[in-house]
Structures are given as C-alpha cells and as structure tokens.
C-alpha cells in the first residue's frame, strides 16, 4: 500500500504570548516572556504566585453567554485555536469538501480541571445535598473539545481525544498523520488545549515540587538548560493545525506551510514522573521519527526540545540528542520555546509544533531566553540558540514532547516540495 503524503495547510494558536499565530510568532522571535503574577485566582497563599496566563482574554468576544456556560476554559481555548486553523486553511471554502472525510483529534492532558474544582468545592462547602450543574460532566471531560469542534463545523470523520500528559497534543498530531497516510481521511483538525492555572493545578504541581517558585522574578523563571533552573512555569492556551492529504490540498489550491515528514512514539518504561536518566525514551522516539520519515540525522537542521526548565528533564534530552545525532548534534540549532510560553501541558506539543513549522517555513529559529549560567552537566558545545533568534536554512526540523508516565512523541516537518 502506498502511503499518502501529508501537508500542513492551517495554523491556529492562543498562547500566553499571543492570541493568534501572527502575534505568537512575532513574540517568539522577539524573545518575549509570557510569565507574570497570577490574576485568575488569589495565589497569595501558594508557593508559586505566577504563571504564563493567556492575556486580554474575554470569552464573550468569541462565544455568547449560553456557550460560555457550556464550555470549560480549556475547551474555549480549543475552539478558538481550531477555528483559527480552519479559517487559515480555507478548508470550508471548498464547495466540494466531503465532511465525512474530515476528522478531529483534540488533546488535553487534564481537561476541565477548573470546572471540576468549582463544582466539587461548591458541593463540599454546601449542605451536603448534591446540587451539581448539569453541564458539570460534559464540561469537564477531556474529549469534549474534540466533540465541540466536530459539532461546530459538521466534521464527521474520526473524532477523539488523546491523553498522554504533556505529550497529548503531539500524540494527536501523530495520529492525524497516520490516519491520513492510510487513506482513512482527507484532512484532520488536530491539536490540544489546557487551562490548569487554577488552585488545583498550581497547588498540585507545587506539592510535586515540579514548578518554579521564583516569585521575585517571574519573567526569567522559565530558564531551560540554565544551571539555576528550578522547575517549569505552568502555562495555558492551545494550538491547532490542519493536516491534509497532499493531493487534496493541491486540488483546492491550498496554501501549504510544510510537509509532515514523520512521527515517532516511545515509552520510557522507567518512572511515574522522571525521564529515563540516559534519555532512552527520548532517543527512541526521535530515532523512530527519523525512520518513519525515511531521513538521516544529518537531514535535520533544528530541534525544538521539550526543554521544560526542570532540573532532571533538561539534562537528559541533550544527552539523547548527542547520542542520536553524533557530531551533527553540534550543527543543529536547538531551542526551547517554553522559555517564553511556559509549559502548556497537554497543549505544549502542538504549540511547539507550530513554532517548528514556522521555523521551517521562514528559515529562522526562535531563541531560548533566560539563560544566565551554563550547567556543567549539559554539553556546552550544543547550540541552544540562547538570547536571540537565528536565521539559517532549515530544510527539516524536529520537535519533541514528553509526558508524565514516560510518554514520548517526536514530529518532523520539512520544506514542501511537490
């Protein structure tokens, strides 16, 4: 069976540094930090008092009051990012579009955590009589954003959610690629969103000692690969892409950003939250992506790392890169866009994939900001693209996303040549 070629025809994003793709990309290249004091709740009693929140967001600008009551914040972000990607693709302008062959895969690592917190807190503080909102369950579940996107646009192809912690939306993109390759659909709206900047999310990650407590200087708290990193900065938002079978896209005259060259998945099989100390899972998923793409390590010009700013995680990924790429590792431009956006959890993979796609399209690598002190445990010969964006020819780029539970995903995008 001959596999179909898959291309990217639409992008959408709502992030802590831009509420659309244009603003997001501009902020990335300028090295803008999205971190600041938490405004979504009173964090004065929490160890961490800052986050990367989506700025200037008013749900009523996108939904009527009835819709707002139906959608958790994570689903609102999902619908907005998906709408942007669909509009960008021009998919709905195709009069011959077969909606039975357009699918939706939308991820969330946690789902409606804010809704869950509000409903359970309300019940626990009441008189014991269960007075739950009838929208409680459908607002909370992690698959509901995928369902709403499908309903909103009438897409009747495969429709589901992927949940693999912080790798969730990278898994969604990998699945979309596979379905189209196999001829199971003509196009997919794929991505993910998260909204865990609330008491439960921040408190839970604080209890794990997973997030930064650099309250005196939040703008520089997300510092991947820096010696003094002390945890990730929790973020919120989402991103979406339209993946499309190449001939389908060409037939309707679609704008093509890049080709989806390959995807690789692996499991660490090591620990509940810590990565394999030698980066074995990271190595395996990157290697699998290269094999899937039919590419050699020397074909890659740029790697957008998982790079969360955690003490352990940031040490193992560079090890895996050097192990896989050998001497070519030192010719790569490596970066972590989480230094600017923070960690969007289940939405991270797709938001970073969008940055990688645009890097390939525009031949420029966004910087890794907030680097002050080299870590002697991290290979200093690697080019982490510190401080400033760097222009270079990027024929192909790889982006990595890893999640609690040892879930690893890697995606490769390359310049489109018919």
User: DSSP 3-state assignment of 230?
Assistant: coil
* C-alpha triplet 376, 343, 217: angle, nearest 5°: 65
Residues 166, 248, 302, 407: which is the catalytic one?
A: 166
User: DSSP 3-state assignment of 315?
Assistant: helix
Tokens of 272: 């509940």
Cβ atoms within 10 Å, residue 230: 15
- Alpha-carbon distance of 303 to 311, in angstroms, equals 20
- Alpha-carbon distance of 33 to 214, in angstroms, equals 14
Closest CA to 2 of 245, 291, 296, 260: 245
**What letter does residue 15 receive in the DSSP assignment?**
B
Q: Do the strands 159-160 and 396-403 form a parallel or antiparallel pair, or are they unpaired?
A: unpaired
**Is 306 tagged catalytic?**
yes
- Alpha-carbon distance of 416 to 418, in angstroms, equals 6
**Is 52 tagged catalytic?**
no
- Alpha-carbon distance of 245 to 259, in angstroms, equals 10
Residues 302, 306, 371, 407: which is the catalytic one?
A: 306
**Is 343 tagged catalytic?**
yes
Contact between residue 245 and residue 6 where contact means Cβ atoms under 8 Å apart: yes
Contact between residue 83 and residue 67 where contact means Cβ atoms under 8 Å apart: no
Alpha-carbon distances, residue 330 vs 11, 172, 382 (angstroms)? 30, 30, 5
Residues 71, 248, 276, 343: which is the catalytic one?
A: 343
**What letter does residue 209 receive in the DSSP assignment?**
T
- Alpha-carbon distance of 208 to 107, in angstroms, equals 23
CB-count exposure of residue 129 (10 Å: 0-12, 13-18, 19+): exposed
Residue 26: partners with Cβ closer than 8 Å, 6 or more residues away: 18
- Alpha-carbon distance of 192 to 411, in angstroms, equals 15
Closest CA to 231 of 221, 243, 246: 221
Cβ atoms within 10 Å, residue 138: 18
Q: Which residues are catalytic?
A: 166, 306, 343
């Amino acid at each position: 069976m001959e596999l179909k070629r898959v291309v990217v025809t639409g992008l959408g994003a709502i992030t802590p540094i831009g509420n659309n793709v244009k603003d997001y990309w501009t902020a990335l290249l300028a090295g803008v930090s999205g971190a600041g004091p938490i405004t979504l709740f009173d964090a004065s009693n929490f160890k961490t008092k800052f986050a990367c929140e989506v700025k200037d967001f008013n749900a009523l600008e996108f939904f009527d009051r009835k819709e707002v009551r139906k959608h958790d914040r994570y689903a609102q972000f999902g619908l907005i990012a998906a709408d942007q990607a669909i509009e960008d693709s021009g998919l709905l302008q195709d009069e011959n579009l077969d909606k039975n062959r357009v699918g939706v895969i939308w991820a969330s690592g946690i789902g409606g955590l804010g809704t869950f917190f509000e409903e359970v807190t309300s019940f626990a503080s009441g008189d014991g009589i269960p007075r739950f909102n009838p929208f409680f369950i459908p607002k909370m579940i992690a698959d509901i954003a995928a369902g709403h996107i499908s309903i909103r646009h009438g897409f009747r192809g495969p429709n589901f959610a992927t949940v693999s912690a912080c790798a969730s939306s990278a898994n969604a993109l990998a699945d979309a690629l596979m379905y189209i390759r196999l001829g199971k659909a003509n196009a997919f709206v794929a991505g993910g969103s998260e909204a865990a900047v609330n008491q439960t999310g921040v408190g839970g990650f604080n209890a794990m000692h997973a997030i930064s407590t650099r309250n005196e200087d939040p703008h520089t708290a997300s510092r991947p690969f820096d010696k003094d990193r002390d945890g990730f900065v929790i973020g919120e938002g989402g991103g979406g892409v339209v993946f499309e079978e190449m001939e389908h896209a060409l037939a309707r005259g679609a704008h093509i950003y890049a080709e989806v060259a390959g995807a690789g998945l692996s499991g660490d099989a090591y620990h509940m939250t810590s990565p394999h100390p030698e980066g074995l899972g990271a190595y395996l998923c990157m290697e699998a992506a290269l094999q899937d793409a039919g590419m050699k390590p020397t074909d890659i010009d740029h790697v957008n790392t998982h790079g969360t700013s955690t003490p352990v995680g940031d040490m193992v990924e560079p090890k895996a890169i050097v192990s896989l790429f050998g001497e070519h590792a030192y010719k790569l431009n490596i970066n972590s866009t989480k230094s600017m956006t923070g960690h969007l959890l289940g939405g991270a993979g797709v938001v970073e994939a969008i940055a990688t796609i645009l890097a390939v399209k525009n031949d420029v690598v966004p910087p890794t900001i907030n680097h002050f002190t080299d870590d002697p445990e991290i290979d200093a010969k690697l080019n982490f693209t510190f401080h400033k964006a760097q222009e270079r020819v990027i024929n192909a780029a790889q982006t990595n996303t890893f999640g609690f539970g040892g879930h690893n995903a890697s995606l490769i995008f390359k310049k489109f040549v018919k």
